Structure 1
Amino acid sequence: MEFSAMDELIVKHIQAERDGDLDRAVSVYTEDVQHDFVGAPAPAVGRAAARGFYEALEVGLSTEEMTLIRTFHGNDFCVTEHEFEAVVKGPFPGVPDGAGRVRGRLLHLFEFRDDLISRENVWAGPFTAVE
């Protein structure tokens, strides 16, 4: 897969997350996608399960800024590092109690198959309160 095509899928996915368009966010996934937010009890398998993760994320956080720091590509994978800032709307794992806003870093490992994302592995943290 061309690196530019990987980047386009990732940008579409992240923008859809920020817009709260969960159907569009998971439309870039294969039907059997594995979505693994490190620290969750188990990976979500399938588009519907991945959408469930994003529904829970929307309850807890509203990302306002997402800045790409670096990207590493391989034949069928891409690793991205982002910095983000979010408004805390409710409980979310790793978010300090009482924080109104948080800042943090994300490391994503995306794998691709059939011109779609077949796996998203996410490492987040630490979340720090923004004064």
Structure 2
Amino acid sequence: MNRDEMDRIVNEHFGYEAADDVDGVLASLTDDVRHHVVGSPWGELSGKDAVRPLYEALFGDLKGEGVKPVARWYGDNFVVDEALWTGRIENGRFFGLEGKSGHVTFRLLHVFELRDGLISRENVWSDIAAIAEQVSQ
């Protein structure tokens, strides 16, 4: 798989996320996807059925305003993507920050493994300390 193909897969996935399109996100994943938002109460998930509730909750809790790419690295069937995410935490529910809402900008790191034109693994790290500093009760 070349870089253009990997970029297409990852960028389509990010596009579905930006549109809060759960079905689109799931269509970008393999049936046996392994998904882990590190530090989240969801833990590591396996399969689309397990991933769906995470995205449904996430799209209710976060409202994105923009993503600024920082860097992207490539390997054999994997992509590492670093970005700055800007938006709003709604409903006071975001990965252990109960009762806190507000406007945030934070660093976000994704590691994707790709297979057959889809994402077979997605690991996500968010700068929770930076988020906690920016939100209020």
TM-score normalized by the length of structure 2: 0.87
Contact 1:95 1:102 in 2 (8 A): no
Counterpart CA distance in 2 for 1:48 and 1:37 is 16
> What count of residue pairs does the alignment treat as equivalent?
131
1:72-83 alignment runs, 5 A limit: 72-83=73-84
| Residue 8 (structure 2) pairs with residue 3 (structure 1) | no
Unaligned 5+ runs, structure 2: none
Aligned to 2:106: 104
- Superposed CA RMSD in Å reads 1.9
Distance of 1:102 and 1:95 partners within structure 2:
13
Q: Measured at CA, do residues 38 and 98 of structure 1 come closer, stay the same or move farther in structure 2, by a change above 3 Å?
A: closer
Residue 39 of structure 2 aligns to a residue whose secondary structure is coil
Deviations 1:88-116 (A, max 9, x none): 21210154854421110100000011221
- Alignment partner of 2:94: what SS? coil
- Provide the residue aligned with 1:47 in structure 2: 48
Q: Residues 56-107 of structure 1, C-alpha deviation per residue, up to 9 Å, x if partnerless?
A: 1112111111111100000110000010111121210154854421110100
Q: What is the CA–CA distance in structure 1 between the aligned matches of 2:126 and 2:11, rounded to whole Å?
A: 18
Q: Secondary structure at the match of 2:109?
A: strand
* Deviating 4+ runs (over 3 angstroms): 94-99
One-letter identity of the residue aligned with 1:19: A
SS state at 2:4 partner: helix
Secondary structure of the corresponding residue to residue 40 of structure 1: coil
